[in-house]
Amino acid sequence: MAKTKTTFFCQNCGAQYAKWLGQCKSCNEWNTIVEEVIQKEEKRNWQQSSTSKKTNKALKINEISSEKEDRISTKNNELNRVLGGGIVKGSMTLLGGEPGIGKSTLLLQIALTIPKKVLYVSGEESQSQIKMRAERLKIANTNCLILTETNTQHIFRAIEEVQPEVVVIDSIQTLFTDYIEASPGSISQIRETTAELIKFAKETATPVLLIGHITKDGNIAGPKILEHMVDVVLQFEGDRNHTYRILRANKNRFGSTAEIGIYEMQNVGLREVENPSEILISQKDDDLSGTAIAATLEGIRPLMIEVQALVSTAVYGTPQRSSTGYDIKRLNMLLAVLEKRAGFRLGAKDVFLNIAGGIKVDDPAIDLAVISAILSSNEDEAIPQDYCFAAEIGLAGEIRPVNRVEQRILEAEKLGFHKIFISKFNKINTGNYTIKVVKVSKVEDIFANLFA
């Protein structure tokens, strides 16, 4: 008879306790600790027929061979860029995002286009539903096998029969193992099923792609240890009201976490956006006040984004401050700089700011574009469409230099801009570019250059 043990887990952070508590001592959340019954059984290896035990030997660091990771190309340039060149064999990749953002669509596209035998395991949809989505994607592939199962022991049995080269799990919160007596999605089940999949991936060098749910705060649901266990954590971001999606790497043991991938959601699936600057800049015939183009960087990828501002008289007495895609606190700081250092009276006016395209930007190099768009709307004078900006604003009203300004200038030059405003303190040779580089040192200088 197996021994039964009762433990208590925090459903927010995964902390374990011997008895029930009202408040979790780890994350300080109330009423998140629940009882879970664990059934202790003798565990078998994921592959029942495997009897060999491999013992690792300690080696000196200079004796370890530094071989390049063997990667599998996904035939998706945006995902390859974020992963660092492709999927590493034996790796565990976790993809999280809002409901309906396109996680399942992205991984199904990968499963249908990758030139390997793929086992797509779904615990949320039936085989007919996945077939309907595949028909909508209009991708034909006989190497993609679909399995609807939630029991990990049954999944491993199917893996032994199929021998796939890549495994996709949709999603980790629906899986359960017979070794744990707890409901699917609980802390103990997520931790145990992930551990079984990691053991399978490392022993067979088969990459596993997981889809994870997120909480209302935007964090991946389940214990925080889940993100520590896997090799790569990807976040799929975007607004369902906009067509563009951004794929970021929050953790990557095999590459940089500074890269992003951009997709456009269409009726036939997700389309890769190779030149996002042309899409993120609005196409318009006339010069309109309140818009400015910023040269920003996402990882090592330069982007040209459009900053839109609207300044109007406060009708209700108390001026409003609203920002979409930009930090509202930083907007308030820039308005205070304009008021104190440059003498613009904006304290009694409503200010609305928007980053076009529905993306979120936290690069301080767009400060100068924000300032310029606000001044343009306040003066009701348009900034020429072939002007762009790349500089940070300090609290003293000085225009500060930004890193990798050469990449920003080259991107602006490639897209046909005629003038770019940067900080006077950026040490570059302006004669190396066909675009005119204007160096400014104070906020008053930018106003004089634009509206003199």
Question: What single-letter DSSP state applies at residue 281?
Answer: S
Q: Which pLDDT score is estimated for 297? A: 87
Peptide bond into 372 cis (omega under 30): no
Pairing status of strand 399-400 against strand 392-393: antiparallel
Per-residue pLDDT, 350: 93
Point out the least confidently predicted range of 43-57, 205-219, 265-279, 309-323.
Answer: 43-57
| Mean pLDDT within 354-383 | 91
Residue 84, sorted as left (phi over 0), alpha (psi -120 to 50) or beta, turns out to be left
**SS3 of residue 286 by DSSP:** coil
Task: Give the distance from CA 416 to its chain's centroid.
Answer: 29
Mean pLDDT (the chain) is 86
In this structure, what token pair is assigned to residue 150? 């939630």
Of the listed ranges 56-60, 82-86, 172-176, 349-353, the least confidently predicted one is 56-60
Lowest mean pLDDT among 59-63, 288-292, 322-326, 433-437: 59-63
What average pLDDT does this structure show over 117-137?
92
| Per-residue model confidence (pLDDT) at position 50 | 42
Confidence tier at 46 by pLDDT (50, 70, 90): low
According to the model, what pLDDT value does residue 367 have?
95
Q: Which of 28-37, 164-173, 246-255, 379-388 has the lowest mean pLDDT?
A: 28-37
Q: Are 79 and 261 in contact (CB under 8 A)?
A: yes
- As a whole number, mean pLDDT of residues 127-154 equals 90
- Measured CA to CA, the distance from residue 142 to residue 115 in angstroms comes to 10
pLDDT at 45: 53
The average pLDDT across 97-103 equals 88
Q: Give the residue among 361, 368, 379 at the shortest CA–CA distance from 421.
A: 368
Q: How confident is the model at residue 10 (pLDDT cuts 50, 70, 90)?
A: confident
Tell me the chain's radius of gyration from C-alpha atoms.
26
3-class DSSP state of 196: helix
Residue 1: its pLDDT value, please? 39
> Coil, strand or helix: which one is 444?
helix
**Which residues are 180's β-sheet partners?**
none
DSSP states of 89-136 as a string?
TT-EEEEEE-TTSSHHHHHHHHHHHSSS-EEEEESSS-HHHHHHHHHH
Instruction: Give the model's confidence band at 274: pLDDT under 50 very low, under 70 low, under 90 confident, else very high.
Output: confident
Cα distances (angstroms) measured from residue 447 to each of 343, 344, 379? 12, 11, 10
Q: Tell me how far apart the alpha carbons of residues 311 and 338 are, in angstroms, rounded to a whole number.
A: 13
| Distance in angstroms (rounded) separating the CA atoms of residues 313 and 386 | 29
User: pLDDT per residue over 276-295, tens digit each?
Assistant: 776 677 666 667 899 999 99
Give the SS3 label for residue 450: helix
Length in residues, the chain = 452
Given pLDDT bands bounded at 50, 70 and 90, which one contains residue 39?
Answer: low
- Displacement of CA 76 from its chain's centroid (Å): 16
Residues 6+ apart with CB under 8 A from 152: 175, 176, 177, 193, 196, 197
Task: Give the mean model confidence (pLDDT) for residues 174-196.
Answer: 86
Q: How many CA atoms lie within 13 A of 114 on its CB side?
A: 28
As a whole-number percent, the residues of the chain with pLDDT over 90 amount to 44
Contact 23, 10 (CB under 8 A): no
Cβ atoms of 258 and 300 within 8 Å: the answer is yes
Q: What is the pLDDT of residues 145-162, one digit of tens each?
A: 999 999 999 999 999 999
Nearest to 210 by CA among 225, 196, 191, 197: 197
Q: Which residue has the higher pLDDT, 320 or 219?
A: 320
User: What pLDDT is stored for residue 375 in this prediction?
Assistant: 93
User: Coil, strand or helix: which one is 83?
Assistant: helix
Q: What average pLDDT does this structure show over 153-176?
A: 93
Name the residue among 120, 121, 98 with its Cα closest to residue 111.
120
Average pLDDT over residues 55-61: 80
State the residue for tokens 């230099």: 401
Task: For the chain, give percent helix, strand, coil, nearest 5.
Answer: 30, 30, 45
Confidence class for position 251, pLDDT limits 50, 70, 90: very high
Could you please report the per-residue DSSP string of 328-376? HHHHHHHHHHHHHHS----TTEEEEEEETTS-----GGGHHHHHHHHHH
pLDDT tens, residue by residue, 301-344: 888 999 999 999 887 778 899 999 999 999 999 999 999 988 88
Question: What mean pLDDT comes out for the span 211-217?
Answer: 83
What average pLDDT score do residues 261-284 get? 80
**Around Cβ 271, how many Cβ atoms within 10 Å?**
14
pLDDT band at 51 (very low <50, low <70, confident <90, very high): very low
Give the alpha-carbon dihedral of 52, 58, 61, 62, to 10 degrees.
-80
Residue 139 has pLDDT above 90, yes or no: no
Return phi, psi of residue 439, to 5°. -100, 125
Q: Side-chain half-sphere of 268: how many Cα atoms within 13 Å?
A: 4
